[in-house]
Structure 1
Amino acid sequence: MASSYWESTQRKFWTFTKQQLAFERKKIEESERNLVNLYPLPDRRYLSIYFGNLLTKLARALTIRQQALATAQVYVRRFYTKIEIRRTNPTLVLATALYLACKMEECPQHIRMVLAEVRHCWADASFNDISKIGECEFTLISEMNSQLIIHHPYRSLAELQTQFQLTQEENALAWSAINDHYLTDLPLLHAPHVIAITAMVLAVVLKPTQGGLQLNAAGLTGALQSLGNARGAPQGTQNRVQKLVDWVAESNVDIEAIVECTQELISLYDVWENYTDKTCKDQIAKFVKARGLDK
């Protein structure tokens, strides 16, 4: 097991540039052009929210801790960089990813319990055979080349929050931003510490109050502007944002990467405002049933 992200398979094999990721996805779509044309799907970000909602509901029912849920979300995202979604039963993939993630995060769940909660939580789940989860687990492991160790931003946040004297509310907001970034491509694009630093910067800039800790597109747009202002502020400016930006500059962390992460979250929250489950559910059910993937 790689204790360091810098020596990990995550960094070596599962961190892409945006161009590389787009190329991989285009290659998959081109290889399955007939399926893609026959069964159109909603925006990828809608699907990410839909999958995230399903996994969160199942994880809560099984009282699975956040890190295992996050690992499952990364597994799903990795898997679908290798396999065209229309060739799979997504609910089976999601349930199996969570089952496998619990093993890897040392909080294993009995396979029968997972299946029982799937039936309870997902009324439209289209599989009911334990052996399907076992078969899918083998496929997941194979497609990820047995590279299953995931490094998360939570550890970096825990190490840095004391240094930057985050309040309890700011820490909660940073944690929330990290949770939400799993609904984007960011886990495949940036190192965990970049995500954690982005979350801290946003938490400080947004100045959460007791009245609410909700992230939204408008708030993050303001945060991005504040970050830009801090970058151009006089050296004598000694507010907390400036201190964070100064620290980032001295640590050689790419500020442009932080801006890119913030923009990706803005895009997510903007899309989220118009999201409904029904569109994703109906479109997925269509190809699952038509292709007999529910058997």
Structure 2
Amino acid sequence: MATNFWSSSHYKRWLVDRATLRQARSDDILYVDHPEHLGFLNIFFANLISKLGKKLQLRQRVIATATVFFRRFYVKNSYCETDPFIVIAACCYVAAKAEESPVHIKTVVSEARMLFVEEYGIKTFPSDNSKLAEMEFYLVDELECDLTVFHPYRTLMTLCGKEGGGSFPEAEAGEADADDFDGPRYWGTGEGKLELQEGALQMAWFIINDTYRSELCLLYPPHIIAIAAIYLTLVFHAPTRAAIQQAQAQAQPRASTSNSNSHPHGSSQSHSPTRRSSRSMKKPLPQHQHQPQDIVGFMAGLNVSMPLVATVAQEIIALYALWDRYSEEPNVGPAFVQKTTRKGRSAGKVQAQPPAQATAQEGQEGAPVTPMFLVQLLLAMREQRIEDMAHPASGRPVAVNKMLERTQAAG
């Protein structure tokens, strides 16, 4: 694995701008009622990858790599023209190989089929192993064989000086040792470590996990995302925030006292030094008490753009605001209606509401969204796209147009 992020394919080819992402979703946005539905799809797909990864007993780093592969694939493709569920299975399969945690292809197909068919009703997922093997080649080709991915966990563990243990897997925390560059580290001098409580460090880790529900991994370097996660932790973790406020409150009286002592008229003893007896010189000096770390100063000393970190932090907060309207609960919307009907149980109050009406209400702006609504949305997008390709405005199918373009290009 490459140790220098700045010379890697991740930095050189897979950090894109927002214009590129808008162009990638230009076809999909034609088939959704609200642009925010694409944000819900980002959350939905990341949750599916995480669920499949846990069924396959993959480490968090492997799940994160699979999510990045999925994001990169759809920089060049549209949801409405592909099957995202076979892509998810292929991403988990390839990521397990790339991170040296291989899983047998039969296991991936069986677990993926069980997840997609039984929980989400995706009956089109193939049971043939050759279909996933074929998708693997398409995926690696679209990724341009760039299978090295840098993650924010690395910077988080390096900044905090953690080498495994506790709530963090040793294989992932040990990645901090691979951060070997010539000269100063890209996030600072490398001198000193950030002292965070175990709970605060775990919160920063979870925030990094949550960022994969968005496209931040395509927009910003991983060390910026890690520092933004730490920044949010300092704000949201109550004990850490209280410690920072207490340290700042104690620093203000010290600063005022030192300023008054340094003033020429601050005290009468400043003109004549006090004589010390030999008895007082023999007394041992009191031991220096451990002073709390200046966390604010540590953050300010990092060699990064703090306005950029604040921007990423705002985008993470916006992700949480969108995520609050996404519900995996089975008793919300049409997902509960279809599930209870299939099992033959009474659906209670929700059953009185037709599934079509519930889906229509979910599609409204500001309403909660469920996975079943997104599954139905994906199917509708794909059907409409196929219809538009068969009957375009020009009167000729898209396949014919592409054949003509290739013929003309060949001369």
Q: Same fold (TM over 0.5)?
A: yes
Query: For residue 10 of structure 1, what is the aligned residue in structure 2?
Result: 10
Query: For residue 37 of structure 1, what is the aligned residue in structure 2?
Result: 30
Bigger RCO of structures 1 and 2 (CA < 8 A, at least 6 apart): 1
Query: For residue 54 of structure 2, what is the aligned residue in structure 1?
Result: 60
Query: For residue 25 of structure 1, what is the aligned residue in structure 2?
Result: 21
Matched, 1:139 2:138: yes
Matched, 1:80 2:74: yes
Query: For residue 92 of structure 1, what is the aligned residue in structure 2?
Result: 86
Structure 1 residues 173 and 132: alpha-carbon distance in aligned structure 2, compared to 1, 3 A threshold:
same
AA partner of residue 13 (structure 1)? R
Report the CA distance between 1:258 and its aligned residue. Answer: 1.2
Query: For residue 285 of structure 1, what is the aligned residue in structure 2?
Result: 379
AA partner of residue 309 (structure 2)? I
Matched, 1:199 2:229: yes
Equivalent residue for 2:125, pick from 112, 115, 127? 127
Query: For residue 97 of structure 2, what is the aligned residue in structure 1?
Result: 103
Report the CA distance between 1:236 and its aligned residue. Answer: 6.0
Q: Is residue 36–residue 86 contact of structure 1 (8 Å, CA) maintained in 2? A: no
Distance 2:230 2:3 in 1: 23
AA partner of residue 6 (structure 1)? W
Moved more, 190-199 or 95-104: 190-199
Query: For residue 317 of structure 2, what is the aligned residue in structure 1?
Result: 266
Matched, 1:181 2:200: no
Query: For residue 304 of structure 2, what is the aligned residue in structure 1?
Result: 253
Structure 2, unpaired ranges of 5+: 162-192, 257-290, 327-369, 388-411
Report the CA distance between 1:48 and its aligned residue. Answer: 1.0
AA partner of residue 37 (structure 1)? L
Q: Is residue 5–residue 11 contact of structure 2 (8 Å, CA) maintained in 1? A: yes
Structure 1 residues 65 and 37: alpha-carbon distance in aligned structure 2, compared to 1, 3 A threshold:
same
Report the CA distance between 1:285 and its aligned residue. Answer: 2.5
Aligned partner of residue 134 in structure 2, secondary structure: helix
When the two structures are aligned, how many residues end up with a matched partner? 264
Distance 1:165 1:24 in 2: 38
Moved more, 260-269 or 280-289: 280-289
**TM-score with structure 1 setting the length:** 0.80
Query: For residue 196 of structure 2, what is the aligned residue in structure 1?
Result: 166
Report the CA distance between 1:208 and its aligned residue. Answer: 4.8
**TM-score with structure 2 setting the length:** 0.59
**Cα distance per residue 1:59-115 (max 9 Å; x no partner):** 111111000000011111111111111111011111111111000011011010001
Distance 2:222 2:235 in 1: 20
Q: Is residue 195–residue 258 contact of structure 1 (8 Å, CA) maintained in 2? A: yes
Structure 1, unpaired ranges of 5+: 210-222
Moved more, 196-205 or 86-95: 196-205
**Cα distance per residue 1:184-243 (max 9 Å; x no partner):** 12111221111112222222322256xxxxxxxxxxxxx9xx99xx9xx98969986xx3
Distance 2:371 2:295 in 1: 38
> Quick check: which one's helix share is greater?
1
Q: What is the CA RMSD across the aligned residues, in angstroms? A: 2.8
Max Rg structure: 2
**Cα distance per residue 1:118-176 (max 9 Å; x no partner):** 12222223222222211221111111111110001111111112321211111110110
AA partner of residue 258 (structure 1)? V
Query: For residue 408 of structure 2, what is the aligned residue in structure 1?
Result: none
Aligned partner of residue 145 in structure 1, secondary structure: coil
Moved more, 4-13 or 246-255: 246-255
Distance 2:205 2:372 in 1: 28
Structure 1 residues 28 and 193: alpha-carbon distance in aligned structure 2, compared to 1, 3 A threshold:
closer
Query: For residue 152 of structure 2, what is the aligned residue in structure 1?
Result: 153
AA partner of residue 143 (structure 1)? E
Moved more, 146-155 or 123-132: 123-132
Moved more, 264-273 or 191-200: 191-200
Q: Is residue 201–residue 244 contact of structure 1 (8 Å, CA) maintained in 2? A: no
